[in-house]
Structure 1
Amino acid sequence: MAPFVDGESSIINMHGAGTTNPQRLFWESMDLLSERAKLPLHMTYRAVGSSTGQKEFMGDDASGYRAYNHFGAGDIPMTFERYNTTKSNGRKMVHVPFAMGAIGVFHSVPTAELGGLPIDLTGCLLARIFSRDITHWEHPDIRALNPKLTAVGEIKVYHRVEGSSSTAGFTQYLEEKCPESWTLGSGSTIVWPSDTYDAQGSGGMSDKIDESPYAIGYIDAGHGHERGFGEIALLNRNNVYLTTLQATISDAAVPALAAGVIPSDPTADFSNVNLYDQTGAATWPITMISYFYIDHDLSHLNAHSASVLMAFVRFILSDEGQALAEANLFSRLPAELQQYTSETLSNMIMPAGYVDFFTESSSKTRAWLGANEYVLSGKRRSYSEYQRSQLEDELAELSAKVDALDSLDSCSSSSCSIPSASIMAPFVDGESSIINMHGAGTTNPQRLFWESMDLLS
């Protein structure tokens, strides 16, 4: 179906499903691309977890083992069983890294009991805590590493309850790092000790840590830092104790590529690929790659959908997309991994009629070329996107004003200066005055004026 049919436009579809962690990144990127496109695009992403993303990419009897979506996404590689099922049904797939993340270990020990320092732990101590060999904060082995820690009482261990890439990464790290202490196995779901506690999803884990004193749990690091939790300083392979904020997350990929941990053939089995406990003074021990799962041969797809799929993937990998990934609490791919993904995409098979989208930047107008159909133009914006950017600016300004007002609480009346008009509205003897402005005239711009007045108010 052609994009335009004698005045009627057909909608080009592109859909994905998988891990919940990049949901905001994907949704925002899809909105941006839809607004920049001249062609009518309909893009969706179902945030259902890495495991479901793999299952739907693999397909089943009902689909003839063809993917249910144009792409899948996960924070772990395709399992060997699912990869093999896909391959045995005549399909080659590629793993396309799009971002990197860290699984952090966070706690709710009161700040006053930390002695001004983070809690240092080794991988083996973590294994003993989460397997319930160590159950109290005052255990001698914890105190030996943390002499200033004064916390006492039970360690409340929280774990994810459903199939989770965070659980897979965390348990695989413990199993590889300290097999003598971690005997519970590894994977997206395991059987936990009965005296541990369930948490549903990343949000649920954050809530449990927040609500439960002296708790400990694992979560993608960005969520933990968003909530301001205390973080465990974990011993890395270079014998450095560090938190995810002190680590350079992308450092783990470089030695992994050099050592052949990541296959040179992107269509190969990735099930044993992991970046746990890589070398490097600033390397975080539980680092994960987030992947797109895509068919190597896309010739069975509608050509327009294939064009949109590749435009979306390339946007996520672009400088703008990687900046959005960072804003959504991921880490950028290092240059070496960017080169790997670029070569992967350039060798994929496209359907007849496939066209690469051209990008017109917001900073440089490309007359005529920018007006073509297969263009994503930064000059083209929707009002909703404009409103979002306006609201973001207004929220940032409001936050600055709140911070300025909060600072007044910490000073005496004699030492505080009168806030400027940019911080406080005109006040008249305890009552706030309303500033009026009125107009009247032609009906034609009424909606323009009303909407503009609402925005300014």
Structure 2
Amino acid sequence: MKLSRIAPLGAVALATALVLAGCASNEGSTPASSSSGSAGAALTGTLNGIGSSAQGAAQTVWIAGIQGINPNLTINYDPQGSGAGRKSFISGAADYAGSDAALKDEELAGTFALCASGTKGIDLPVYISPIAVAYNVDGLTDLKLDAPTIAKIFSGKITKWNDPAIVALNSGAKLPSASITVVHRSDDSGTTQNFTDYLAQNAAAEWGKPANQTFPYQVGDAAKGTSGVAEAAKNAKNSITYIDESGIGTTGLKVAELKVGSTFNKISAEGAAAVVNDSPLVSGRAANDLAIKINRTDTQANAWPLVLVSYVIGCQQYKDAAKAKLVSDYVKYIVTPEAQAAAAKQAGSAPLSSELAAKVNTAAASIK
């Protein structure tokens, strides 16, 4: 199944309250519209989520929005990382997980503490964002890289900024003779999963490893979470890292252009969304599990195949019906045009296409 193209952003009106930067997760304000499945009801109770740090900024905005129209609702989200989120949800320590990687087959083969007997977790895509290859090199503002060169840098095979492979891609650029400081995630990370999947599919010989949520090479410096790698790269001269674009913020990090086919593309949420919309769902999953198999070799114009899809993971059926309603209504709220546009404003993400949002809404409505 291919997903349709993303709808234009300009038609979506935002409420000022939904786009406030840095709002606390339990501070609320009223969104532009209350047309979601949850917004018309007075929701009461508490939800605890753990997971993706890339999804953190969007979660902050979504939580503020839905709590603003449901003052007796409390949602807490701890951005410990995707791996921690899935483990916490599976064990019952969190009501839902945020994850930049869908549930693995081996995870689905096990039991889920909060789910009714015989039922499993389901993956509901809520957030699409490009992953940046970001760098901190004085005087270098226009870096171009391809997948094989990125693979050699992050595996430690290329160690100098003026390596011939980098020079060949950057004619006329000011490339120092300095050593490259690689910064990677120290925690189990969905961003790492997506980054290594891109390299495994586009530079298999140079990378030499399968996709994995744990960074596979002992090279450079390690830091926890999106904010951790952003801070580490900011503070290290001649550094390079991979990071959800939302984490760059005011760090001053520059983003490399990516060779896609025969052209170099600039990072864009639209290019990331186009790749996702041309990608099929993972086969063999339950009807309401919407895990996406990203087409990492997409070469359409302006495509950005170094992209992550981040999910809310919840039970198809909860043991606690009250929790089920809260999770269902929260996800239905997240995929409204207003909430998606608010996340795009805050985090630089790409709103879900109307087709994908409708599928997620239907799947969320089936949670019980």
User: Is TM (by shorter chain) over 0.5?
Assistant: yes
Which of 1 and 2 has higher RCO (CA within 8 Å, sep 6+)? Answer: 2
Map 1:413-428 → 2, pairs under 5 A: none
Aligned to 2:297: 277
Going from structure 1 to structure 2, the CA distance change for 1:75 and 1:93 (only over 3 Å counts) comes to same
- What's the counterpart of residue 297 of structure 1? 317
C-alpha distance in 1 between matches for 2:77 and 2:269? 32
Q: Is the 8 A contact 2:52 2:98 kept in 1?
A: yes
Partners of 1:120 and 1:247 in 2: CA distance: 20
User: Which shifted more, 183-192 or 92-101?
Assistant: 183-192
Q: Which secondary structure does the structure 1 equivalent of 2:160 belong to?
A: coil
Structure-to-structure mapping, 1:50-199, within 5 angstroms: 50-59=82-91, 67-86=92-111, 90-111=118-139, 113-114=140-141, 118-152=142-176, 153-194=178-219, 196-199=220-223
| 1:118-138 alpha-carbon deviations (Å, 9 max, x no partner) | 211110111111112111121
Residues 1:345 and 1:105: Cα distance change in structure 2 (over 3 Å): same
Using the TM superposition, give the Cα deviation of residue 229 of structure 1 relative to its aligned residue in structure 2, in angstroms. 1.7
Question: What is aligned with 1:228?
Answer: 252
Q: 1:73 to 1:148 in 2, by over 3 A?
A: same
Q: Match of 1:204, SS?
A: helix
1:241 to 250, 264, 285: 264
Residue aligned with 1:289, SS: strand
Does the 8 A contact of 1:184 with 1:190 survive in 2?
no
**Structure 1 residues 133, 247: CA separation in 2 closer, same or farther (over 3 Å shift)?**
farther
Match of 1:320 among 321, 335, 338: 338
User: Are 1:27 and 2:52 matched, yes or no?
Assistant: no
Give the alignment of 1:333-352 within 5 angstroms. Answer: 333-346=352-365, 348-350=366-368
Partner of 1:367: none
Query: 1:56 offset after TM fit, Å?
Result: 2.0
TM-aligned CA distance change 1:263 to 1:141, over 3 Å: same
1:18 maps onto 2:46 in alignment: no
Residue in structure 2 matching 1:309, options 324, 327, 330: 327
**In structure 2, what is the Cα distance between the partners aligned to 1:242 and 1:76?**
24
Give the match for residue 447 of structure 1: none
For residue 268 of structure 1, report the CA deviation from its aligned partner: 5.3
Query: Aligned equivalents of 1:135 and 1:126: distance in 2?
Result: 11
Distance 1:168 1:334, change over 3 A: same
Q: Work out whether 1:42 is the aligned partner of 2:74.
A: yes
Residue type matched to 2:159 in 1?
T
- 1:101–1:131: structure 2 CA closer, same or farther, 3 Å change rule? same
User: CA-to-partner distance for each residue in 1:370-416, whole Å, 9 max, x for gaps?
Assistant: xxxxxxxxxxxxxxxxxxxxxxxxxxxxxxxxxxxxxxxxxxxxxxx
1:80 corresponds to which letter in structure 2? D
**Aligned-partner Cα distance in 2 for 1:322–1:188:** 26
Aligned pair count? 322
Does residue 253 (structure 1) correspond to residue 276 (structure 2)? The answer is yes
1:345 Cα deviation (Å)? 2.6
Letter in 2 for 1:168: Q
Instruction: Give structure 1 stretches of 5+ with no counterpart.
Output: 1-9, 60-66, 351-457
Q: 1: distance between equivalents of 2:296 and 2:152?
A: 18
What corresponds to 1:204 in structure 2? Answer: 228
State how far apart, in whole Å, the 1-side matches of 2:295 and 2:111 are.
24
Tell me how far apart the structure 2 counterparts of residues 247 and 232 of structure 1 sit (CA, whole Å). 17
1:325-368 residue CA offsets vs partner (Å, 9 max, x unmatched):
1123122112231132133234x153xxxxxxxxxxxxxxxxxx
How far off its partner does 1:286 sit? 0.9
Q: Is the 8 A contact 1:168 1:188 kept in 2?
A: yes
> Secondary structure at the residue paired with 1:180?
helix
Structure 1 pair 157/24, CA: closer, same or farther in 2 (3 Å)? Answer: closer
Does structure 1 retain, via aligned residues, the 8 Å contact 2:129–2:309?
Answer: yes
Which piece of structure 1 moves more, 307-316 or 185-194?
185-194
2:126–2:352 contact (8 Å) kept in structure 1:
yes
Q: Deviations over 1:97-120 (max 9, x none)?
A: 111011110111223x45xxx211
CA distance change for structure 1 residues 203 and 15 in 2, over 3 Å: closer, same or farther?
closer
Give the Cα–Cα distance (whole angstroms) in 2 for the partners of residues 15 and 33 of structure 1.
14
Structure possessing the higher radius of gyration over alpha carbons: 1
CA RMSD of aligned residues (A): 2.7
